[in-house]
Chains A and B, each alone.
Chain A
């Protein structure tokens, strides 16, 4: 099988797994997860093979692995769909494959496979735990298996299919298809425990918010197709004529060029998907779903998809960019990115829910990437995307592990505490060491701890680019955001793992099964070592040990390979200072937090703290701006006035008229004439049948005799006619 067909093969296993589980094994938990993980494993193998092969190819950027088939006839041409692996797709494939596989394996343990069925678990609510009696007859409360276990694996299977499709596709259309599939899956998975009101609200919120972005994105795609007549990456993004054409013609909208407008529209789609301000509101609520889902959405797949798309269309954004001077669209991107980075970081410092903190950190990290793209730091963005995928997946899975452990404690003690609130935790480093170590690694990576962690290198590169192309505003904003990032990361780690347990549940927390810990370890390793592939050559000391693989490999994707910025100490110092400073600050503030004590920030920040804790009241704002008016319109205008008065009134009038006519017809035509005739027919039939009835005696032998006599008579007749007749 050729390498191209192998590419085609990548997304298929998860899809098949989805159908098999849904249709066949949905009652059979073991088979379900075996199938799902097997599928993930296959895709992983294929992806790794592709990745390895892609690394062998010289100038992959010019000659990507691609093949395509005609799909839809449009007029006289065919709309072709195909697959294409260029460096960007290759690296994306790399981290998607790894994280997806890890998450699949993790989910087995997370949903308590092998535990007894719950006492009164119902589908649609998280398992409440089961009561088992051991040999001495002691009753124990233990976690119980998820009632909709198979369903979950089916969904994430479909989700993985969507992501793979999006990554390998060679045109915006199939990318959009994968995009929407993921939208659906996130909807289904956020609302996985659909019996929880909050989950329902969250799923709808996520769906609608992303839909806003998707509408613009679809507009952009349609516009692009109308002007270029194709959606293929190669045809648009890889030939200078088209790019220049697009870049120079004005769209007549805000003075943007066509390229700029299309880029902007697509970017809005990415904003929706990647939860950038102002469409960020859905992501924190998406924490209602099971933690593997959070990891899936916030690290491996969905949010990355937004960045991936923006990276894809980078040539569109960048066309007409003389060196240093940004196009308006890129300015928008840079602004949104930088702003979101800071904005989300500020919110994150005031959250107590362990997963929400991570959610906001995700938003802010994505902000970093967008900012990087905005300032043209293509490679840095891609690099940070990969790194972030790994350590954020690690962090989410780690937090899930923490929650799981604390839940175990809750079951054990029967104490009624929220297992997600960091203020109920503490001291978990002794209880769950593996989780602690891995989480610590992830946290440090997120905070950009110097030299040893992956996050440091990627972030440092972003800083370097921002500084090197002297976009000072962006640089400062990102620096602040990085500081806050380090701060809340440390806050989280301290509250969760360090210090003394702040609740009996936390005291009784326990380490989880290997299916949950092994993925953590693997991801942790990646979050440590992977950064070293992106060390700039001219970095002091370690610079020349490893070639700057990320730069060489990913850089090929573009037509004109961006040259690395010359090394400068300012950004390096900055990133080291902010990370270490933030970490230290976080530790200082939270190192001795007592049980039930209020958050120390409250004293310092005061009202601002409340503001932050309520996320700048964005939900309320949107509620006021959009939701209420929508309700109002629906209630007052559409329902009462339009429906009731106008439409119903008209209909009632028609109905009245019709009934009048009907009555007339009935009284003067139907009853006398037609019915009379009908009745007469019926009556006469009755009389006739009354005469003929006695023949049917119901005695089979009489029937036979009758039949035989008749036959005999006919035989005689025919015999007479045929033999004597002649």
Chain B
């Protein structure tokens, strides 16, 4: 029997890996991937708490579904942004996209 803590630890690890990706990767698309990982970690937590807490009411899954929707939207817009940035500046390296520099 798997206790809930396993799921939580797993989710935390996944989250931190994703965070590392977000903070450290050069390529913007890779950063998006990191964000996806983080979102999934959150989802795991939600569902785990649903399953281990009160499976009678479905809120956990509902939230997870919402997260799916948000993730999809975020990826669509993000990728579109990167594509247009790439068109203008021929790069998608996050630290070269610094027009807002002083």
Contact = CB atoms under 8 A, between A and B. Distances in A.
Interface stretch (B7-15, B54-62, B94-102): B94-102
B80 interface: no
Interface in A673-708: 693-694, 696-701, 704-705, 708
B23 A694 contact: no
Interface in A442-485: none
Contact of A698 (B22, B23, B99): B99
A701 B100 contact: no
B94 A698 contact: no
Contacts of A697: 98, 101
B23 A696 contact: no
Which has the most chain A C-beta neighbours within 10 Å: B94, B98, B99, B102? B102
B24 A698 contact: no
A689 to B, nearest CB: 9
Given A704-B22, A704-B23, A705-B23, A699 B102 contact: no
Contacts of B94: 699-701
B95 A694 contact: no
Contacts of A701: 22-24, 31, 94-95
A699 B26 CA distance: 11
Nearest to A690: B102
A705 B23 CA distance: 7
B82 to A, nearest CB: 13
Contacts of A699: 94-95, 98
B7 to A, nearest CB: 23
Contacts of A694: 102
Contacts of B102: 693-694, 696, 698
Contacts of A698: 97-102
Contacts of A693: 102
Nearest to A703: B100
Interface string B86-98: 0000000011011
Interface in A325-368: none
A490 B61 CA distance: 97
B17 to A, nearest CB: 15
A710 to B, nearest CB: 14
Nearest to A692: B102
Nearest to B26: A701
A701 B96 CA distance: 11
Interface string B1-43: 0000000000000000000001110000001000000000000
A705 B98 CA distance: 16
Given A701-B94, A701-B95, A696 B22 contact: no
Contacts of B95: 699, 701
Contacts of A704: 22-23
B24 A696 contact: no
Interface string A184-222: 000000000000000000000000000000000000000
B71 to A, nearest CB: 19
A228 B98 CA distance: 83
A690 to B, nearest CB: 9
A708 B23 CA distance: 10
Contacts of B99: 698
Nearest to A689: B102
Contacts of B31: 701
B38 to A, nearest CB: 12
Which has the most chain B C-beta neighbours within 10 Å: A697, A701, A705? A701
Contacts of B24: 701
Which has the most chain B C-beta neighbours within 10 Å: A700, A705, A708? A700
B22 to A, nearest CB: 7
A696 B99 CA distance: 11
B97 to A, nearest CB: 8
Nearest to B102: A693
A701 B24 CA distance: 7
Contacts of A700: 94, 97
Given A699-B98, A704-B23, 5 more contacts: A696-B100, A698-B98, A698-B99, A699-B94, A704-B22
24 contacts: A693-B102, A694-B102, A696-B101, A697-B98, A697-B101, A698-B97, A698-B98, A698-B99, A698-B101, A698-B102, A699-B94, A699-B95, A699-B98, A700-B94, A700-B97, A701-B22, A701-B24, A701-B31, A701-B94, A701-B95, A704-B22, A704-B23, A705-B23, A708-B23
Interface of B: 22-24, 31, 94-95, 97-102
The 8 closest A-B pairs by CB, nearest first: A698-B98, A698-B101, A698-B100, A693-B102, A699-B95, A696-B102, A699-B98, A701-B23
